[in-house]
Chains A and B, each alone.
Chain A
Amino acid sequence: MASGMTRKPYDGVVACAPVTIPYRRYSTNSAQWWIGRALHALIKAAGLRPSDIDGFAASSFTIAPDTAVGLTQHFGLTPRWLDHIPFGGASGIVALRRAARAVQAGDAEIVACVGGDTNHVDSFRKTLSTFSRFAQDAVYPYGSGGANASFALITKNYMNRYGARREDFAKLCIAQRDNALSIPHAMMKRKLTLDEYMSARPIADPIHLFDCVMPCAGAEAFLVCREDIAKSLDLPAIRILSTVERHNAYPTDPIQVRGGWALDADELWSMAGLKPKDVDFVETYDDYPVIMMMQIEDTGFCKKGEGPDFVRTHSFTNEGTFPHNTSGGQLSVGQAGAGGGFLGLTEAMHQLIGKPIGTQVPDARIGLVSGFGMINYDRGLSSCAAVLARAA
């Protein structure tokens, strides 16, 4: 039921101080350790004391039995605004938009948003088997292929329906691998060739090895505060032009061919006062290539079903046409659990500030970040997006 009420802009609120704790394939440390490192990096980057942080949003799959509440005592924080957002690939943007409203309303002044997870040997299997009630009841007992099997069905259906070929997915993967070659902590350090991609071992057809992310340990974080505070801390600031969030969109689609972005794209662009062609780069959530293609379609760069064609006519590298997943995305640097839901956001902030970990997208002034999360049963439920701009 649309109210017709116009949403308030995020005037006066900025995101700043993006930090990345370099990933490791396996870690003997806990998720609390990784989140602690990220908080530490945040206060160092901003020149703050821990007590200056009065808002905290944490996203993690591996902090059990803790919740965000337990983390406050663990880290010695005394926040007056607290959130726990274990939304997988939607975590970062959801944290950003909630924190922004809290700051705007005066409920908090400086909010630390952190996404991070550890990766012990065997923690991936444990996460999969207990991911959700529906996964436990209706997915995991079926071959226990995890997200690979679920996305295989989505990918297969998309290919059957819209004529996407493995070569199209390859192009996206290869381009973002090129973008990752300058990222020191990337799990995948070598160039990916079409031959390697095509001849990789099958995981759950049509998903092959290089369509899958590598689980790892790591953390990503940023601060949300008023623009004047960022200025007083001498922090380059990122303006939030627009955001959207949606869960369980199109529940009657037999197999997922679109996400909530399709429902919210008009709102996303009208709130930003921009059109898709105005952005200088795009960070999509890349758990699997087919989802990147859906995000490109659903956020409005082309129509539904035109994704394959769009891929064939763009280059996706940082220097090329349609710079996309400019740090290599999770497919190259690794998936640090819920940190993966922050990766596109922190990378976009790095690009807009002009201090990327890897290569700079020329003239990056406006970026689109989109998130996607939580295969609860047969499809990803959460979608979100944000249009960001460098503060003048």
Chain B
Amino acid sequence: MTEPLVRPKRKNPLKRTRLPLSPQGTRSRTAHGLTAAAAEGRFALQTCLDCGAVVYPPRDACPSCLSARLPFRDVANGGTLLAETTVQTSTDPYFRERMPWRVGAVKLDAGPIVVAHLHGDVVESGRVRLEFKLDRSGSAVAIALPEKDTQNMADDPHLREMTCDPKFRRVLITDGRSVVGQAMAKTFSDAGAGIVFVGLANVWKPFPGLDTLRKIERVEIIPLDITDTESVTEQAEQNGARIDIVVNTAEHVRAGGIVGRHGMTIAREEMDIRYFGLLRLAQAFGPVLRSRGADGVNSATAFVNLLSVHALMNWPEFGSYSAAEAACLSAAQCMRAELRPGGVKVVNVMFGPLDTEWFQTVPPPKVTPAALANAVIRALKQGVEDVFVGDVAEDVRARLAVNPKALEREMAG
């Protein structure tokens, strides 16, 4: 059984903050097939299309029949832990300061032997389920988990290194005026977040839901206007060192395309709130998040981008909106590279049309704010980087993988 985490005490301000380190993240290009699977929380291994062999470590030819047709396919993740060891001495500085570290050899039912990190609750000769996670270098690693969930299993120190579990962590919801922001605050509070900071521009301006928001446990309302660089900077100076997860809930949804729309006013607003808003947050909170990647139980761990799935493929009905979302997606890729040295994940949560006022005219299926919030929590607990929420998002992703051109043509109606 895993020892439950203890709520961390207030940090001694005189104590030095340890600098974050990463395990080695270099992989062969083929091995990044595992990174792709881990980013989405799938368990995929190379599977030979000619002879059916399941292959690990990643190769460029099948060791049974020499075929080069070796795509990564989802496979069963059950296995048996054949032998384990506890590494006490490591040549790598990241592991050195986390010794001792258990690893073991897992024989997968699907065939191969996988050297894996071990959750504290797995035992030699016992059944395990293997998962690929992105470690703090951003590359995939395998971890063996107990076959069935155990008590407090998310608190296991090895596992918590690879996830962004909100338990005891302090989160900033950047905009509490939207229903999505409010749902997010409630869900993070329920997930055991230490403090839920909720940003509000023009705090004096009342809105429906404010009272409910104030009543949520551990919510702290703070003034934050993401269209105002000064406001964002001031908040980062005030609370930045106490924030471990940033969730950008700022939204700006307006129907309309590119050719048919007159003037720049709405487009400017879209870019100011979504793209420049993201940049302001990234510049103000990014450096302190990155520097606090190894700051104990409540270390900085994630920046969550809520993105329309139409960032991936323009939806002409909301064409200008889609373009602003695409700009945010591109910025998120850059942020990933820049926050990686701190082990801080940039989590892109891509959703289809939401069940909110702004998508009033759009037919179902739609994603409720609560479902979106739950998806965010699930993603953080799992430690994934790319999440697709709702049927529309899943549909776009699947069609994109098969034929992007067909998708583009069909989006035009």
Contact = CB atoms under 8 A, between A and B. Distances in A.
Interface of A: 124-125, 128-129, 133-134, 136-146, 148-150, 152-154, 156-157, 160, 201-207, 251, 254-255, 377-378
A205 B85 contact: yes
Nearest to A130: B26
A251 B113 CA distance: 11
Interface of B: 23-28, 31, 56-58, 63, 82-92, 94-95, 101-105, 107, 113-117, 124, 135, 137, 139, 141
Contact of A254 (B82, B103, B139): B82
A156 B89 contact: no
A140 B83 contact: no
B115 A137 contact: no
Nearest to B30: A137
- Give me the 9 closest cross-chain CB pairs, A-B, nearest first: A144-B92, A152-B85, A145-B87, A138-B57, A125-B91, A137-B31, A143-B87, A143-B101, A157-B83
B28 to A, nearest CB: 5
Nearest to B107: A254
Contact of B115 (A124, A128, A139, A156): A139
Given A137-B27, A138-B115, A149-B103, A144 B90 contact: yes
B96 to A, nearest CB: 8
Contact of B85 (A125, A139, A141, A149): A149
A110 B220 CA distance: 82
A203 B58 CA distance: 28
A142 B105 CA distance: 11
15 contacts: A125-B91, A136-B27, A138-B114, A143-B90, A143-B92, A145-B89, A152-B87, A153-B82, A156-B124, A157-B82, A204-B87, A205-B85, A377-B57, A377-B115, A378-B113
A154 B115 CA distance: 12
A40 B227 CA distance: 74
Contacts of A156: 83-85, 124
B91 A202 contact: no
A202 B114 CA distance: 24
Given A129-B24, A154-B83, A254-B107, 12 more contacts: A128-B91, A136-B28, A137-B28, A140-B24, A140-B92, A149-B103, A152-B85, A157-B82, A204-B86, A204-B87, A255-B105, A377-B57
A255 B113 contact: yes
Nearest to B99: A143
B63 A153 contact: no
Contact of B90 (A134, A145, A251, A377): A145
Nearest to B32: A137
A38 B110 CA distance: 49
B110 to A, nearest CB: 13
A136 B58 CA distance: 11
Given A139-B115, A142-B103, A142-B115, A255 B85 contact: no
B337 to A, nearest CB: 19
Contacts of B137: 141
B85 to A, nearest CB: 4
A182 to B, nearest CB: 30
Contacts of A150: 115
B103 A145 contact: yes
Given A156-B83, A251-B63, A133 B88 contact: no
Contacts of B31: 137-138
Nearest to A152: B85
Nearest to B80: A254
B52 to A, nearest CB: 15
Most chain B beta-carbon neighbours within 10 Å: one of A143, A152, A204, A377: A143
A68 B82 CA distance: 41
A153 B87 contact: no
Contacts of A201: 88
B59 to A, nearest CB: 9
Nearest to A134: B57
Contacts of A144: 23-24, 87, 90-92, 94-95
Contacts of A124: 91
A149 B23 CA distance: 16
A160 B63 CA distance: 29
B114 to A, nearest CB: 8
Contacts of A136: 24, 26-28
Nearest to A135: B57
B83 A148 contact: no
B62 to A, nearest CB: 13
B82 A255 contact: yes
B13 to A, nearest CB: 33
A154 B101 CA distance: 17
A153 B92 contact: no
Contact of A143 (B56, B95, B114): B95
A23 B83 CA distance: 35
B87 A149 contact: yes
A340 to B, nearest CB: 18
Contacts of B85: 145, 149, 152-153, 156, 204-207
A202 B24 contact: no
A97 to B, nearest CB: 26
| Chain A CB within 10 Å, residue with most, of B102, B113, B141 | B113
A110 B129 CA distance: 57
A46 to B, nearest CB: 40
Nearest to A145: B87
A139 to B, nearest CB: 6
A128 B115 CA distance: 16
